[in-house]
A = this chain, B = another copy of it.
Amino acid sequence: MKIAVLPGDGIGPEVTREAVKVLEALDLPGLTLFDGDVGGVAYSRHGHPLPQETLTMARECDAVLFGAVGDPSCDGLERHLRPEQAVLGLRKELGLFANLRPAKVFKGLEHLSPLKPEIAADFDILFVRELTGDVYFGEKGERIGIDGSREGWDTMSYSAKEVSRIAQVAFRAARAGNCRVCSVDKANVLETSQVWRDTVIEAAGSHPDIDLTHMYVDNAAMQIISKPAQFGVILTGNLFGDILSDLASAAVGSIGLLPSASMGARETAHGIFGLYEPIHGSAPDIAGQGRANPMATILSAAMMLRHSFGREAEAAAIEAAVGRALADGIRGGDLGGEHGCKEIGAAVRERL
C-alpha cells in the first residue's frame, strides 16, 4: 500500500499531518508513505508547481493524499507556473477523470448551513464531476477579434467516449444510494451539452434500475438550494461541476468537513488509483497557526481506503470516529468551535 503524500501550501501540511497520523494509527500491514512537493512550495524549491519527481512518485504509488495548493506570493507568476496548474496537471497526467464529492449535512450541524434547517436537513448529494475534459483542457489562446480588439478564446468539448465513461461512474455510485442520477448540462445552447445529453441517455440504456433525469445548469443551481432532497447523484461536466459542487458545499455550511476523491482508470492491487483531498483550499490567512480543521482531510483518507485499497471496514471506522468526535462537541474554528488542528486529530484517533 503505497501512498504519495503531497501536503502543498498554506494549511495543507498541518491538515495532511493529522490525516497521516490517523492512517498510521490503523496499523495497516505494508503501508508505506512517500512525501512530495506540490504547489507554491514546489515552485519555490524546484521552480515548478508540479515537479517531474512528484509526478513520478505519484505514478509509482497506489493513491495520492493531497493537502491544498495556493499561495498569494505566486499571484504574479505566469499562469503555467501558478499553484493551481499543479492541480490541473495532476488530473491530466494521472488520468483522474472522475471527481466524487459528497455534499451532505452532518447530523447536528444543520445550523451551520446558510439554508433553513428544514431544507438543510435533507441535503445529501453526491457530485460526480468529469475532471479531464471540457473547456478546461481544450485549445485556447489569445487573438485579435473581428472587432479589432484583443480576444481570449477557449474550446469547450466532450466526446461520447469521455461522457459515457463518467456516466458509468455516476450510475455505479447511484446504486449505493437512491439510484437517482440527475445529469446537468446546457443542451439548449451548447453542442457540447447535446452530445453530453445524448450519450448519457444512451449509456443509461443498460442500467434500467437507474432513475435518470436531465436539468439545465441554471435550473440546477436554483434547485440545489431550494429543493435539494430531490437529488441523489448529480452528474456534470468539468465546468458546471466546479460551480455546482462548490455551491453545494457552501449550502452544507461546513466546508472544513468535506472530502473528495478524484479517480483514474488504473487499477491498483486493491482498487482504483485515486487522489484524495479536502475541498477547502490552502487558507493562507490561518496557515501555520494550528487553527485549521483536519477533518475533511481525515475523511479524504477514509475515501482513499475505501476506493483505492478496498478497506471498507477501516474507512467506515474513520468516518464513525469523526462522527463521534463531532457528536462529542469537537469543533474547529470553521464550525464556530475552539479546537485546534492537533487536538482534533488526536480526538479522532482516540475514538478510532
Contact = CB atoms under 8 A, between A and B. Distances in A.
A162 interface: yes
A163 to B, nearest CB: 9
A149 B145 contact: no
B225 A243 contact: no
Interface string A239-255: 11011101101110101
Chain A, interface size category, equals: 35 or more
A212 interface: no
Contacts of A54: none
A156 B153 contact: yes
A238 B311 CA distance: 45
Q: Copies per complex? A: 2
Contacts of A151: 157-160, 195
A75 to B, nearest CB: 10
Contacts of A88: 189
A161 interface: yes
A191 B159 contact: no
Contacts of A140: 190-192
Contacts of A251: 225
A92 to B, nearest CB: 12
A136 B218 CA distance: 14
A233 B221 CA distance: 19
Nearest to A195: B152
A279 B135 CA distance: 28
Contacts of A213: none
Given A221-B243, A246-B219, A246-B222, A191 B116 contact: no
B243 A217 contact: yes
A135 B162 CA distance: 20
A300 interface: no
A204 interface: no
Nearest to A190: B154
Interface in A241-280: 242-244, 246-247, 249-251, 253, 255
Given A114-B225, A152-B191, A223-B250, 9 more contacts: A88-B189, A135-B190, A149-B160, A152-B195, A186-B242, A221-B221, A221-B247, A222-B246, A247-B247
